[in-house]
A and B are shown apart, each in its own frame.
Chain A
Amino acid sequence: MATQARMRLLVGGGASVVLAALALWVPVEPRFPPAWQSPAQAAERAERDLPALGLLWGKVRGWSRVGTGWTVLWQPSHGMWLVSAWVPDGPAEIRWRIDAAPWLPGVRLSRAAAEVLLGPSGGVEQARERLGRRDWQVGESRLLGALPAGGELPSAGLLRRPVVLAVLVGLLLAGAVSRHLVPGVPGRGWRYSVVSVVLLLFATLPELPALAPMTFQPGVRPWVAELAFGTAAVLLLGALMYAGQRFPATAGSSPVALLPLALAVGALAGRFEPAIWLVNVAGLTLRLPVLVGLAVLAGWLAGIAGSGLRELLRFSAFARVVGLSLLGVAGVGFGGAWTGVTLAVVSAAAVERGWGTWMGMGVVWGWFFGSLWVVARWETALWDALVFVLLGCGVVAVAHLAREHRSAKSESPASP
């Protein structure tokens, strides 16, 4: 029995490697320009190449990938201003901007900053300080420090798909209700997994505000912004932990034969339509635990939505085939950044209940890997992407072997 299990696992593992290689080998035109440097490298370059502007920049507070570069944000601890810079991957010019608190007309720019703004021809003739308004008087005109200084930075385009999102949220709610109305045997392992990854994400919380640079605002001290983000994250993770107990995945063996396929489908989806936000996650120091935590939670949620879809289409076999096919095609055609999630939900709904969460997680795992492979092209991120996918395969293998071992023990005749 154990030998059969090992053989199945070996075949499954081999299939995973072959399919993952195939998914990486399929020629795909990248939809987003890949990032060739990490945000930390971009920040270092900006600090090295930009004039200091006579301002205290403070610590790097966050970053986001915009076009072919990184927008990095600095803020001093008093929070009175934000310095942001868009650092392109190539040798192009770095663009920067200073935003000061609206209540601070007294943010008088330094002479160096004023000279940068006025260009080489203009000189700061007179530093005239007035009550609460410390401006530079330049001939007839006045340079107000409180106005946004520097240029406009490029902004990321919106990737919203409201219809897809609404369908996914509806399926999630249907799945939550269906897990109560059509109860199965709750999987203890899944419950532990959700709790464990939530605790893991709690541990990485101090790093996570960097992923939400919009939280930092001029005039708001950064610790308050971090507190706001942390509170929101704690509430969200707490709710997920609660939901993990209340709507647990159904127990079931891992579908070793199907998981390689799910991984490959996910990886291919990630290469076609990468989750662009993952490149921001890849910029974290603790990227691996964060990726694992997010993938487990996303896979489990895909399992819940899949349960909802399965129950909604249960009334006829024909409807099930047509519904799943339509949603799959719609997800690939119109899903945009949600393609991977849509495919994970369809995969979870297409198999039996005990396998749903496994399949959802397999697709999400592959989708994360494929996305990272396409968009985060600096060395450490690529290595961590490989470790991420191997870690997932390893955990599945261990879970499968442990289950087979348990079932073999329970089937063996009781010792006298």
Chain B
Amino acid sequence: MFRVRYALQVLVAAASLVVAMDLVKGRGVPGEVQAGALARAALVRLGYEPLGEPTATFEGDQELAWALERARPGPAGVRLARGQGGAVRWRVVFPGGGEAQVTVDGVIWSLRRPVPSAPGPALFPSMARSRVETAVAEAIPDPSAWGLVRAQGWREGGHIWQRGWYVGGAGELPSGWRRELELEMVGSTVVSWRRTVHPLGTDLGVVTGRMAELQLLRRPALLGLGILVIGVFVAAAESVAYRESTAITRGVAYGLVTAVAGSFASDTLVAAPIQGVVAAVVVALLPVWTGLPRTRLRFGPAAGVALAAVTLAGRAYILGAGGWTPVTPPVPGDISPIRLLADSWAPALVEEPLLRGALPALAAPIVGWWGAALLAAPVGVLLHPLPTVPLAASFALELVLQVGLAVVARFAGVGGAVLARGTCEALVRRASYPVGSDWERVALIGVILGAVLLLWPRRRG
């Protein structure tokens, strides 16, 4: 019996590793390496040879990307967001001067070279125009669709500067959108140009309106957590008065880890130290709540892999059923492995002990464990949903995740739910970060930990 169980554990570990590898493989933001080469070539075409190896920073316009996807459903919208829509791009900076923005699909979005000491003779506006139009033709795919709408000239630093604004209609973009290009020239040298996109208000509004609605709906969830925290502190006071056995050291350690993770995360429910204190109190009280299921950490990560697969499949299902959900992953404010780690694990460390530990412990005497777990689900649903059309699809998808976590907590305890949630978040959030094995390793930390725990030889009996 023991051997059969161990063999099953080996099987689960192998399956979770394979599925997790499949989920992260090929996902992520591409184009970092190509962006440097493309930027260099574009600067050379402007007559400037950049020196040194460039640094690339990822940046994006979240609302613009999602508005493009919403306005042009399916892969076409995603292509636009990554290409001619200019919503997701790399900023490439050369150490010796010169800077460019290149979309992840390789479209040069903006370019700036250092001002040359001898920029050539100043040109009359009429003569400058043909040179500018040549530069515009290199910058955009359909120059015939663009027209000059405004021009400006001034003298500065002994040279004549000229600036022109071009408007290019909608082009490949959805109907009603507008493309613009701003170009600058010193003497007879083009030194910079920059493209912008003006979305149609209603297309942008569907996305930003949904985001505002979800932000509003997050408030009652935070209120629910606040009420729960009050209950936790009353329970803590009682346990002190009754001199009950608590896990203070474990709680303090957990609280410190939570506070540190929260301080690196981009989005926290409240300030990281407060989160740490609350998590510390909850974990310290866990031994008092004897009715909670026993923790079996080793099954958590495998369950997290399954939940990540369900989440990603759910998004594909919404798109396939004619609804809309963002394909371009949320653009993180900062790109670093520690950010991926913190963004994935901070919600798990804070929310799971509260929703799968404290709430069932406090409410189970009245509504039972499952009743309490189902009470936690709507609170969890409102905390981190993505905008969808219809809005209910987003809640349904989050509800599936929350119910899944409740099931995990029932069979693997609070610790198992924390590992499952962290693993799931890391695998789902992986797509927001650049392609590369470093990022994949960070995303797979939970799965690897789960595999080690599953394969760890245990004593018989």
Contacts and interface: CB of A to CB of B under 8 A. Distances in A.
Interface of A: 79-80, 101-106, 131-133, 173, 176-177, 180-181, 215, 217, 219-221, 224-225, 227-229, 231-232, 235-236, 238-239, 242, 245-246
Given A173-B237, A228-B216, A132 B223 contact: no
Contacts of A224: 213, 216-217, 391
B61 to A, nearest CB: 13
Contact of A219 (B208, B219, B363): B208
A217 B209 CA distance: 10
A95 B176 CA distance: 36
Contacts of A173: 230, 233-234, 237
Nearest to A146: B201
Looking at A106, A229, A231, the one whose CB has the most chain B CB atoms below 10 A away is A231
A225 B176 CA distance: 30
* Secondary structure call for the A interface: helix
B198 A228 contact: no
Contacts of A176: 234
B363 A103 contact: no
Given A105-B201, A131-B177, A181 B238 contact: yes
A220 B206 CA distance: 10
A180 to B, nearest CB: 6
A245 B366 contact: yes
Nearest to B378: A231
Contacts of A231: 217, 220-221, 378, 382
A220 B237 contact: no
Nearest to B175: A131
A219 B209 contact: yes
B227 A103 contact: no
19 contacts: A80-B205, A102-B208, A104-B205, A106-B201, A131-B176, A132-B199, A177-B237, A177-B238, A181-B241, A215-B216, A221-B213, A228-B216, A232-B219, A232-B220, A232-B223, A235-B379, A239-B227, A239-B231, A245-B366
Nearest to A133: B201
Given A228-B220, A231-B217, A232-B223, A220 B209 contact: yes
Nearest to B379: A235
B238 A235 contact: no
Contacts of A225: 216
B178 interface: yes
B455 interface: no
B202 interface: yes
A224 B363 CA distance: 28
A219 B205 contact: yes
Contacts of B238: 177, 180-181
Given A220-B212, A228-B219, A103 B205 contact: yes
Contacts of A245: 366
Nearest to B375: A238
A215 B233 CA distance: 29
Interface in B290-326: none
Q: Identify which of A103, A133, A238 gathers the most chain B CB atoms within 10 Å of its CB.
A: A103
Given A224-B217, A224-B391, A219 B202 contact: no
Contacts of A181: 238, 241
Closest 10 CB pairs of A and B: A232-B220, A106-B201, A231-B220, A132-B201, A103-B205, A103-B208, A224-B213, A132-B200, A239-B227, A235-B224
Contacts of B10: none
Contacts of A102: 208
A245 B366 CA distance: 9
A90 to B, nearest CB: 36
A228 B217 contact: yes
